[in-house]
């Protein structure tokens, strides 16, 4: 009959058994964590981080099981095993550390443990005085099987212990049956039969800077101390020691490539440029070159190489901006017009975010017929700068490019050098931001810029720092950016800047500041109701007096020193919020080893606020019945507290925030020594 497809169903032949090959592997393993989308994506950790693994593992009947974690680097190396221990309700846990940067993998392995089952039953029989000779014989048989499978001293020891079990010397046999030595030998050498093993799950291990970093953003053309000329890369080079002294370890430069002249934007994003207007650095490309060139006004490639080398000597990474878009003057427009979208009249479609128009920028068409050549060229650009020492890339608007492109590109780069860091500048919908992180972005901008109220901060950062989000998304908090002057910073209040920078630097292990704009409290908006700067540095050169006495440079320096000296602030997963009875006050803590930090912030930049803080003593590692000291690392003041309640006063005119180091009294200290 036309339009139909004949199908045949094969019935099993009578009398033919079809049994599962794994029918004797009885242990069930499920609900593994951490896992991102069932293993579709790698979880993230940094070198030196622990990986805590949990899973449900159980069996039919009452036999004992053994469960272990296996981990190794992908592509080589032996598996390392870590025992898992039971929690409750067939939930097991264990942890291991990852140290080598690159891809790792782990799996969970479980099997029925006849010896552990026998030993558990023997303990019950011994307690009930109901042991029989046959019970010892059963155990001895299991021990002899292990001896036969082993070799050397272990095999000989097992044979000797088996003989003791069946020797008839009841007291010695009982002692041997439950001895630690026999337990340890059997754990290490007993045959593993009918093993259940899960498919490996991937872990992307980044360098420590992927987890903990302090970013400083600087426009090179505004870096000159000479008002008669544009700043250059050489001027940035001269600023390196100051930036290093402030404690920043990543210096992010907006695009340093040639800037187009066609449809160049004027000051304050005017559609008409006037003589001398320098244009937006994000309008990349001119007759001087494209994405692999340096703007001649900024210097040469040799100048850039020197900058990268000198920065590295000071412990600073230069972060390059990846803005995959072109000015109308970019060589790509002439050489590869098919890489762009064309309008019905044949002209190339410029970028738009209605009603905004960006005539000076042409976006790529990532789905064009020649997409493979386009993707390969953009990979070449990244690897070109990697060849010049760049290990950190801040990616402009990645959410406007295909997910598949980023997964491919990041994998291509990290396969060559797993230490490369990608920061996603994607202020967009949460699921899109999360997907980009899953695809491989090391860090991500966040909504911190707009989270001002304590309830909002608490809600948002609880989400970011707990699984499942914490297993793939690393937040990087920025109080402001060249694109965003939030309303909170338009008040003219110095305390508003202090509040936001303390929150950014202590809520997140990674944070960034658009300075010297932030240092100098620049909060003039283009007009009321918008988040754009008046006289934005995106469109003109600015002259900043970084030595002004009202600068926040000293505060930034102190905060970065506090971050370096207190490991608690170098991690995000231990963030814990503490209740405050004042809705204007937010309080939270972090801990790592012996390092414990407690932060209290007044989010009202104009009024003094008092608050009763209900401390979670468990999170702080404190006993309820002993006093402890809190040392304000911002003011160097010290206080003696005890118990789960504390009172704080936060005056925006003096000190709108406390950053306390929490210190327990040691046994060798008396009250006078410790609290004075």
Positions annotated as catalytic residues are 396, 425
Contact between 143 and 162 under an 8 Å Cβ cutoff? The reply is yes
Q: What is the dihedral of CA 482, 488, 491, 496, to 10 degrees?
A: -100
Say how far apart CA 541 and CA 80 lie, in whole Å: 56
Helix orientation angle between 114-127 and 133-149, rounded to the nearest 10 degrees: 150
**Residue (of 246, 204, 256) closest to 388 by Cα position:** 256
The DSSP string of 545-561 is -TT-TT-SHHHHHHHHH
Tokens of 487: 């309303």
| Beta carbons within 8 Å of 15's beta carbon, 6+ residues apart | none
Across the strands, what pairs with 642?
627
Say how far apart CA 647 and CA 650 lie, in whole Å: 10
- Cβ atoms < 10 Å from Cβ of 246: 21
**Residue (of 613, 609, 621) closest to 650 by Cα position:** 609
Contact between 231 and 499 under an 8 Å Cβ cutoff? The reply is no
Contact between 662 and 598 under an 8 Å Cβ cutoff? The reply is yes
Conformational region of residue 285, where left means phi above 0, alpha means psi within -120 to 50, and beta covers everything else: left
Containing 411, the helix (H) or strand (E) segment is: helix 403-416
Tokens of 23: 């029918």
**Residue (of 409, 396, 404, 320) closest to 358 by Cα position:** 396
Say how far apart CA 328 and CA 638 lie, in whole Å: 60
The DSSP string of 413-425 is HHHH-TT-EEEEE
In whole angstroms, how large is the CA radius of gyration of the chain? 31
Say how far apart CA 448 and CA 450 lie, in whole Å: 5
314 alpha-carbon distance from chain centroid: 24
Contact between 491 and 605 under an 8 Å Cβ cutoff? The reply is yes
Pairing assessment for the beta strands 609-614 and 645-650 based on DSSP bridges: antiparallel
Q: Which one-letter DSSP state was computed for residue 569?
A: G
CA max distance for the chain: 105
Across the strands, what pairs with 330?
none
Give the E-state strand segments of 466-509 in sequence order.
475-477
Give the E-state strand segments of 85-184 in sequence order.
85-86, 91-97, 102-112
Angle at 629 between CA 625 and CA 631, to 5 degrees: 155
Q: In 3-state terms, what secondary structure has residue 526?
A: coil
| Beta carbons within 8 Å of 331's beta carbon, 6+ residues apart | 285, 289, 290
Question: What does each C-alpha distance from 580 to 502, 572, 583, 612, 648 come to in angstroms?
Answer: 18, 21, 7, 6, 10
């Amino acid at each position: 009959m036309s339009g139909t497809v004949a199908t045949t169903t094969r019935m099993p032949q009578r009398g033919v058994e079809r049994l599962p090959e794994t029918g004797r592997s009885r242990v069930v393993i499920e609900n593994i964590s951490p896992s991102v989308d069932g293993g579709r994506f790698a979880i993230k950790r940094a070198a030196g981080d622990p990986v805590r693994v949990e899973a449900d593992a159980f069996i039919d009947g009452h036999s004992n099981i053994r469960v272990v974690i296996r981990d190794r680097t992908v592509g080589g190396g032996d598996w390392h095993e870590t025992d898992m221990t039971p929690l409750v309700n067939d939930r097991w846990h264990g942890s291991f550390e990852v140290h080598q940067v690159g891809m790792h993998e782990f799996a969970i392995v479980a099997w029925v443990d006849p010896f552990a089952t026998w030993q558990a039953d023997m303990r019950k029989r011994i307690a009930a005085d109901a042991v029989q000779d046959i019970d010892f014989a059963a155990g001895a048989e299991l021990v002899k099987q292990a001896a036969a499978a082993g070799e050397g001293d272990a095999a000989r020891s097992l044979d000797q212990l088996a003989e003791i079990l069946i020797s008839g010397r009841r007291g010695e046999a009982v002692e041997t049956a439950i001895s630690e030595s026999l337990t340890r030998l059997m754990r290490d050498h007993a045959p593993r039969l009918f093993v259940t093993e899960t498919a490996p799950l991937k872990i992307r291990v980044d360098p420590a800077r992927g987890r903990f970093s302090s970013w400083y953003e600087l426009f090179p053309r505004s870096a000159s101390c000479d008002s008669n000329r544009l700043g250059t890369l050489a001027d940035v080079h001269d600023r390196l020691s100051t930036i290093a002294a402030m404690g920043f370890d990543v210096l992010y430069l907006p695009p340093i490539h040639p800037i187009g002249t066609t449809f160049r934007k004027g000051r304050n994003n005017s559609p008409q440029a006037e003589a001398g207007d320098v244009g937006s650095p994000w309008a990349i490309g001119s007759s001087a070159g494209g994405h692999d060139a340096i703007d001649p006004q900024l210097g040469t490639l040799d100048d850039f190489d020197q900058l990268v080398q000198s920065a590295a000597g000071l412990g600073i990474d230069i972060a390059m901006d990846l803005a995959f878009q072109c000015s109308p003057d970019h060589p790509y427009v002439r050489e590869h017009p098919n890489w762009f979208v064309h309008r019905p009249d044949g002209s190339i479609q410029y970028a738009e975010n209605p009603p905004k128009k960006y005539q000076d920028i042409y976006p790529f068409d990532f789905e064009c017929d020649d997409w493979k050549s386009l993707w390969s060229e953009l990979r070449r650009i990244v690897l070109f700068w990697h060849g010049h020492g760049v290990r950190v890339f801040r990616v402009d608007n990645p959410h406007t490019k295909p997910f598949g492109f980023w997964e491919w590109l990041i994998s291509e780069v990290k396969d060559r050098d797993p230490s490369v860091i990608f920061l996603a500048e994607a202020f967009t919908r949460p699921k899109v931001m999360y997907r980009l992180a899953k695809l491989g972005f090391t860090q991500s901008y966040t909504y911190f810029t707009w989270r001002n109220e304590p309830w909002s901060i608490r809600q948002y950062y609880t989400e970011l720092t707990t699984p499942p989000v914490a297993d793939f998304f690393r937040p990087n908090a920025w109080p402001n950016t060249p694109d965003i002057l939030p309303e909170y910073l338009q008040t003219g209040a110095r305390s508003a800047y202090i509040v936001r920078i303390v929150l950014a630097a202590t809520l997140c292990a990674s944070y960034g500041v658009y300075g010297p704009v932030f240092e100098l409290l620049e909060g003039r908006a283009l007009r009321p109701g918008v988040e754009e700067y008046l006289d934005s540095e995106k469109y003109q050169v600015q002259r900043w007096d970084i030595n002004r006495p009202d600068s926040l440079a000293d505060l930034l320096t102190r905060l970065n020193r506090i971050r370096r000296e207190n490991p608690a602030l170098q991690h995000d997963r231990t963030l814990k919020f503490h209740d405050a009875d004042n809705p204007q006050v937010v309080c939270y803590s972090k801990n790592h080893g012996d390092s414990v930090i407690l932060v209290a912030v007044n989010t009202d930049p104009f009024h003094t606020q008092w608050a009763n803080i209900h401390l979670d003593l468990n999170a702080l590692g404190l006993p309820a019945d002993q006093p402890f000291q809190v040392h304000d690392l911002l003011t160097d003041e010290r206080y003696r507290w005890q118990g789960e309640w504390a009172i704080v006063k936060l005056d925006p005119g003096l000190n709108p925030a406390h950053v306390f180091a929490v210190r327990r009294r040691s046994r060798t200290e008396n009250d006078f020594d410790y609290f004075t």
